[in-house]
């Protein structure tokens, strides 16, 4: 579980997003970072029982920086108002599909996964895999537990049918997708309760066939 002080810090930085305030509260941030890394380590431990690849991943390699890259953004606020961690065979740095944990007070926390806006070659490969193996893909995303936890696949869609496919293709609505992600919300009260790591691992376990399908597509 996360400490209440971690949630309080995130609430505070949302309204004090500037370097002087951050410098004054740097020690608090270091405690927040350590707290989140501890949660990430617990998640990795649970995932390691599901897939051995996670047993060799360090939590620090999964946790993302709080510092924003503002070089190409109109929003020049220097810090993120959330904590994020990416889980894959390469920690947060992995070009394929993976798992993501987002912590942000105000009902914006979630456990998600998949592949967001893959580059053109990978996008084409995923569409081909869905087209060739739609029965398998359809079974994964319509699994009772999967649908209850995540609902539908999220992602921006093309308006027109992608080149090379017919509009009567049974998988056409998924072939139009430009991203392939799912997620389930985590309430603010759950963040500071024991067992939050198990809740996250359960979500990741449920989406594993979906993530595996995407990664198989781009291998």
pLDDT of 37 strictly over 90:
yes
Domain ranges of the chain: 4-218
Dist CA 90 CA 115 (whole Å):
14
For residues 167-186, give the mean pLDDT: 97
148-173 residue pLDDT tens: 999 999 989 999 999 999 999 999 99
Return the DSSP state at 109: E
pLDDT of 144 strictly over 90:
yes
204 contacts: CB under 8 Å, gap ≥ 6 = 43, 47, 50, 87, 99, 111, 113
Q: What is the pLDDT of residue 94?
A: 87
206 contacts: CB under 8 Å, gap ≥ 6 = 145, 146, 149, 150
Q: Helices 196-218 and 134-141: crossing angle, nearest 10°?
A: 170
For residues 104-119, give the mean pLDDT: 97
- Place 95 in a pLDDT band, splitting at 50, 70 and 90: confident
Q: Helices 196-218 and 120-132: crossing angle, nearest 10°?
A: 90
- DSSP lists the bridge partners of residue 109 as 186
Q: What is the pLDDT of residue 72?
A: 86
For residues 25-53, give the mean pLDDT: 97
> Phi/psi of residue 111, each to 5°?
-110, 125
pLDDT of 70 strictly over 90:
no
* Residue whose C-alpha is closest to residue 213's, from 176, 164, 180: 180
pTM of this prediction exceeds 0.85 = yes
* Residue whose C-alpha is closest to residue 105's, from 10, 185, 38: 10
């Amino acid at each position: 579980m996360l400490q209440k002080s971690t949630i309080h810090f995130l609430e505070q930085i949302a309204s004090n997003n500037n370097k002087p305030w951050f410098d004054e509260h740097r020690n608090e941030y270091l405690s927040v970072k350590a707290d989140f890394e501890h949660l990430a380590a617990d998640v990795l431990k649970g995932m390691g029982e599901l897939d051995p690849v996670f047993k060799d991943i360090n939590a620090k390699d999964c946790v993302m920086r709080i510092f924003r890259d503002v070089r190409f953004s109109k929003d020049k606020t220097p810090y993120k108002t959330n904590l994020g961690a990416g889980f894959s065979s390469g920690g947060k740095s992995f070009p394929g599909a993976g798992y993501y944990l987002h912590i942000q007070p105000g009902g914006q926390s979630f456990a998600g996964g998949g592949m967001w806006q893959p580059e053109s070659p990978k996008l084409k490969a995923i569409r081909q895999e869905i087209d060739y193996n739609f029965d398998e893909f359809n079974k994964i995303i319509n699994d009772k537990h999967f649908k209850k936890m995540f609902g539908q696949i999220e992602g921006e869609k093309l308006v027109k049918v992608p080149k090379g496919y017919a509009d009567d293709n049974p998988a056409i609505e998924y072939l139009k997708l430009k991203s392939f992600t799912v997620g389930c919300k985590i309430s603010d009260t759950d963040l500071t309760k024991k067992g939050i790591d198990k809740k996250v691992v359960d979500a990741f376990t449920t989406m594993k066939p979906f993530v595996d399908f995407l990664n198989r597509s781009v291998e």
